[in-house]
A and B are shown apart, each in its own frame.
Chain A
Amino acid sequence: MSQNQHSPSHLTQRRRFLNLGLATITSGVLGIGSRNTQANPVAAFSPEADDKAGGGSASESPVPKIDIEKWRKLKSEPYEVGAFGEMPGVCNLPGPLAKRNWPDRNKYKGAVKVPGMCQLCSTVCGMIGYVKDGRLLKVEGNPRDPNSRGYLCARGQASLNHLYHPERLLYPLKRVGKRGEGKWKRISWDDALDEIAEKLKAVRDSGHPEEFALHQGRQRSKDALKRFLDAFGTKTQLSHRSLCSGNRRAANLTGLWESDWDLNDVEYSKYILNFGSNVFEAHQGHVPFASRVQRGRFENGAKLVTFDVRMSNTAGGSDEWHSPFPGTDGAIALAMCNVIISGGLHDEQFIDRWTNVSVDELRDHLRPYTPDWAERVSGVPAVDIVRIATEFAAAAPAATTICNRGSSAHLNGFYNDRAIGMLNALVGSVGKKGGWCWSPWGGLDPTVKTPQMPPGAKTQSVLEDPPEYPLANVWRRMRVGEIVYLYLLQDRAKLQAYMTYNLDSPMTWPEESMTQQILTDESKIEFHICINSFYNETAHFADIVLPWTTFMERWDLDARASYNLRPYVGLRTPMVEPLGESRDIRDFFPELARRIGGGMEQWYPEKDVKEYMEKWASTVPRNPETGKQGLERLMDEGVWEEEREPFYEPYNQALSDLEMQGAVIDDQGRISKEGIGIGIMVDGSPLRGFKTPSRKFEIRSAFVSKIGRNEDCSDLIAASGMVKTKNRPDSHLSHDLKIEDMPIWFQPRELQNLPDDELVMTSFKWNVHNHGRTMNLKWLAEIVHSNPAWLNPETADRFKLKNGDWIEITSFYSRELEKVSPHLNRTDLREDSGRRVVSSMRVPVVLMEGIHPRVIAMSNSCGHTQYTSVAQARKQPVDDSQLAGCDPATYQDADWQRNMWWQDDSQGDHAKWQRNRGNGWNQNKLIPIAPDPVTGQQAFHDTVVRIRKID
């Protein structure tokens, strides 16, 4: 190299660096090992480096040689950094420049297709990843997936944002400041697991293993979590089910027992009656369900009628939309039942044969629920109720209801959903093609067997099984997630160790401020381990954060209840190697178990995750065309669906002679063997029937009434054949609750005669987001990032508001719960004029006709305070203390500077706020903890609020 052209100062500076190099060599600070061709600079500086590198022997550190042939070959490949076009990435938005070089013809050349399953919502659609050079280039739907059929929604398409997000957690972190202060240091996995193991051992040694809780958000590794907790010996596994679908599940279980999940056969329906479900955007069935709804409509001529307080995209895309007063879905359904029975539109044979009530009983029960009455409480014209009921009955049996959180997330939600379900029984569409169906396979095909699991833990905790909620845990462990932090506040329980997993409770749980308060309090939660892919609002309050792999970097067998009404098995597989030091629980739980010891380790005999997966998938049969079976077949195809008939009319299945051998028939025709129900005699033939105590669809449920009163239901459980159903434990004694045996309807006290200055707050979800885990994804956040409150113009007139004005919303605790759930004892909430105030929040309003005049709506998903810069809509750090020594005028932070056009620069000045700017507001600041007293389902849609204009 020539230096002749360079300035004296340049040469002087270079000389200084050369001297630095020499001095460094002389000092030996780098160690000899750094020049090894297998160099590892980190290892080179470890205390053992000298030994590993040959004790400093220079002769053992050969100077590297370049593989010249390899270079010549490499050089001929047409890749150039900076000239490869716009690759999918967090901030590379599709636009004119991106399109100019898109698609790159060579982009997918040589890419390998790897199967996987999405996990950006609960629907787990099959995916195929295109992997090249160890990088995932794109994902698409897996057409073999029987449920999703190759569709992948916007969330799924944004998987690349998730995987390659620059703010992903890549290393274990340990808190070094106060909890919640946000100060961390990186630690090794060894140190992290040692510290966690030591703490968990101490919990176990304390004799209170139940004081170790795992609190999960969306999880699809059920076996791995249960294995770890059972092996440890705690049953305190907390979930979000009661924040989601508790009432719907309980209502389904009341009628069916064998399934908590209705699978509406909409693809073959003629009439789809939708009570409050935003099917096209937010239903757990998502694209598999929405696509079948549309096929039913456009290929089968189905009519879609939607009741929703808000004109959702589903309501807007329906044939009819009606906007009832909040929480009156059950009243409308009962009135429709009344119309059907009184008009003789019912299916008499189905009711007589397959329900446990007579038409006369129904007529008597439904008499008060007239269409006029329903019009008075709901606002939906009686004439429409009559017409729709008549149309629904005429279309049966190819007619089905749909319901979800819109009807169930209320204090009367259990009854709403039972009334809606009854409609199907009255018209005989239960289990029929095109009707209201279900399947017993809520997950994986039962052909695949999890490798041997530990025996279930036997501990008891009010956090996992609060005694006040009779139906929360009797059929399935749905739990009552929203009371966890309240019960900790009230010292009804404490946690020595708390492991959160894919959870964002401050965002998604009601009463954000109390959640934060408890997560901060080391006397309530002594030690908090957070497992997550991103630093979210929960991780912020952790003591140790473990970087979790994304769903494109880990293993699972997974499936949902399929709308094909038959089970299947899907494979989630690492499409690429985990980034950084992120690890899945399947990978590090065995290691943690071995460190905890005491017998835990025996439940992890496999040498690695792959071996575990091979065992788990070993019963997947051979594909005769490819010759592959087990995991190898799943790796090839991504999914396997068993060939069997759809689960139509299972109750009509005849029992075989073998099944009838030794069977006993009682005076009601119920068939049992050894005291366990197996069927029912119908017209002299032994049939399977429903898996309920009566072996019929139970419109009237003696079980729920008895279980509410803590009575022994052993005989009913045995007759159903569902022997995993349990009586309530002794800890529930004295916590009796009256539960109606028939579907009824009542209105919570605070919604009766709602004063003019009060509104009912409702929440909703967008089609590009899940509740708390997608606002960090740039492609999705750009589409939806803010959530002003929706108001009807008529309402706005009353409050003298116009579009874009700011209001202060004040929310109140439930009067109904003050009366019926005194154990909640919310004396911690401030009292104002006889009302308990939850919180206040300031938001702008957007006016639109598509909302009930007594309702104010806000979407969830917005208002993150952590969870990456994208979720906060910030180009650069907000904390000025982090800019010490910098000149703000020249400060550059190029990573987020580009394209974040929606950053809100108003700095809290409402007059300067621009529409569609900012990251929105967390509605859960306002929503009170409000468990349905029967099931514990959080009543997200019943909050009474007052609003006032901010000048």
Chain B
Amino acid sequence: MTRLFGSGKLIDSEIHDVESVATVYSLLARLWICEVDEPVLKGLSEEPLVSALEKVGLAFPTDSVEQLAIEYCRLFIGPKNALLPMQSVWQKTQLESQSASSVAKFAGLIGYELPAPALWDHLGVQLDLMSHFVLATHSHENKDIDRDVACEVANSFFERHLNWASPLLLATSQRACSPLYRSLAEVTQQFLKIERVMRSPASL
């Protein structure tokens, strides 16, 4: 029996899936949104996480926090030739295009506030927000109609804001020197691909 996020309920299979999927979104969000720090590095190195990570292909970081911070900066911040993980950059070649406004509007649906150092359409923010939408599909358990709406929101968000990242993820996996960020891009790609299939009309 695993205690879940605040629900305190025992796992049943459906909630199990929802919570797990949401948590994967959260984990990926954490790795995308900012540099790895010591607590996260430690957490990634311990069981049961280390084995689970290995199975999906996410390489355990062997670099120091400092080296990973330099690599993160080079890849995703710059100051030059960076692969900025923002939807606006990849779709409109600018910062803060309408995709940023759109994410902000979605965030307003659940009172989500922008994490301080990021822009709204940063992939990390989008993954984190998606984890909330996934969880929200089970926060309306007493009303089927509301639950359908929650699913609609989650699917709409995914379609609009997590369907763009393939070029970024490909470029990251090619350009990254660190195994962590190379595999993070690959794993994110795989996970989004699975989610895309799961959220396709044929799967619903």
Contacts and interface: CB of A to CB of B under 8 A. Distances in A.
B80 A87 contact: no
A81 B89 CA distance: 13
Contacts of B190: 13, 17
B55 A20 contact: yes
Interface string A168-205: 11110100100000111110000000000000000000
A46 B149 CA distance: 34
Given A16-B56, A89-B92, A89-B94, A3 B111 contact: no
Given A70-B109, A74-B105, A133-B101, A882 B81 contact: yes
B113 A40 contact: yes
A885 interface: yes
A166 B128 CA distance: 22
A108 interface: no
Contacts of A68: 146, 149
Interface in B161-179: 161, 167, 170-171, 173-177
Interface in B105-134: 105, 108-113, 115-119, 124, 128, 131-133
A64 B110 contact: yes
B interface majority secondary structure: helix
A26 interface: yes
A35 B113 contact: no
B175 A90 contact: no
B26 A92 contact: no
Contact of B27 (A24, A81, A84, A877): A24
Question: Which of B40, B109, B202 counts the most chain A CB atoms within 10 A?
Answer: B109
Contacts of A35: 5-6, 26, 132, 135
Contact of B72 (A24, A41, A84, A186): A186
A166 B97 CA distance: 11
A920 to B, nearest CB: 19
Contacts of A34: 26, 30, 128, 131
Nearest to B46: A27
Contacts of A80: 160
Nearest to A176: B70
B39 A166 contact: no
Nearest to A887: B174
Given A13-B194, A26-B2, A39 B113 contact: yes
B20 A25 contact: yes
Given A61-B6, A868-B80, A30 B27 contact: yes
A67 interface: yes
Contact of B198 (A1, A82, A185, A891): A1
Interface stretch (A110-118, A228-236, A261-269, A893-901): A893-901
A164 B102 contact: no
A166 B86 contact: yes
A691 to B, nearest CB: 48
B43 A166 contact: no
Contacts of A18: 16-17, 20-21, 24
A27 B139 contact: no
A74 B117 contact: no
A60 B138 CA distance: 17
B111 A38 contact: yes
Question: Which of B40, B49, B70, B90 counts the most chain A CB atoms within 10 A?
Answer: B49
Given A18-B16, A885-B175, A894 B90 contact: yes
B19 A885 contact: no
Contacts of A60: 6
B77 A28 contact: no
Given A63-B136, A535-B79, A580-B119, A90 B93 contact: yes
Contact of A892 (B55, B132, B167): B167
A17 B21 contact: yes
Contacts of B197: 6, 10
B180 interface: no
A545 interface: yes
Contacts of B82: 167
Contacts of B100: 135
Contacts of B29: 41
A91 interface: yes
A783 interface: no
Nearest to A898: B93
A877 B24 contact: no
A174 B79 CA distance: 11
Contacts of B23: 20-22, 24-25, 30
B90 A87 contact: no
Contacts of A182: 80
A64 B139 contact: yes
A168 B119 CA distance: 13
A22 B97 contact: no
A35 B129 CA distance: 10
B69 to A, nearest CB: 5
A63 B94 CA distance: 34
A58 interface: yes
B53 interface: yes
A423 interface: no
B203 A5 contact: yes
A891 B174 contact: yes
A186 B84 contact: no
A832 interface: no
B94 A91 contact: yes
A517 interface: no
B28 to A, nearest CB: 10
A134 interface: yes
B60 interface: no
Contacts of B131: 34
A879 interface: yes
Question: Which of A24, A84, A133 counts the most chain B CB atoms within 10 A?
Answer: A24
A886 B176 CA distance: 9
A569 interface: no
A23 B56 CA distance: 12
B98 A79 contact: yes
B194 A17 contact: yes
Contacts of A869: 80-81
B35 A164 contact: no
A771 to B, nearest CB: 21
A658 interface: no
A274 B73 CA distance: 51
B10 interface: no
B98 A71 contact: no
Contact of B101 (A58, A134, A879): A134
A889 B156 CA distance: 35
B174 A42 contact: no
Contacts of A890: 174
B116 A30 contact: no
Contacts of A10: 194, 197
A579 B204 contact: no
B72 A59 contact: no
B116 A40 contact: yes
A81 B70 contact: no
A51 interface: no
A46 B38 CA distance: 10
Given A1-B198, A32-B5, 15 more contacts: A13-B194, A16-B56, A17-B194, A18-B17, A27-B46, A30-B30, A38-B113, A41-B30, A68-B149, A163-B95, A164-B95, A169-B78, A184-B70, A185-B73, A885-B177
22 contacts: A2-B204, A18-B20, A29-B27, A35-B132, A37-B132, A43-B116, A44-B30, A45-B37, A59-B6, A63-B135, A67-B109, A67-B111, A89-B94, A160-B94, A167-B80, A866-B80, A876-B81, A885-B174, A892-B170, A892-B171, A894-B167, A894-B171
Interface of B: 2-8, 16-17, 19-24, 26-27, 29-30, 33-35, 37, 39-40, 43-44, 46, 48-49, 51-53, 55-56, 66, 69-70, 72-74, 77-84, 86-102, 104-105, 108-113, 115-119, 124, 128, 131-133, 135-136, 138-140, 146, 149-150, 152-153, 156, 160-161, 167, 170-171, 173-177, 182, 190-191, 194, 197-198, 202-204
10 A-B pairs with the lowest CB-CB distances in the bound complex, closest first: A21-B20, A29-B43, A886-B174, A91-B93, A89-B94, A535-B79, A23-B52, A21-B23, A877-B81, A61-B6
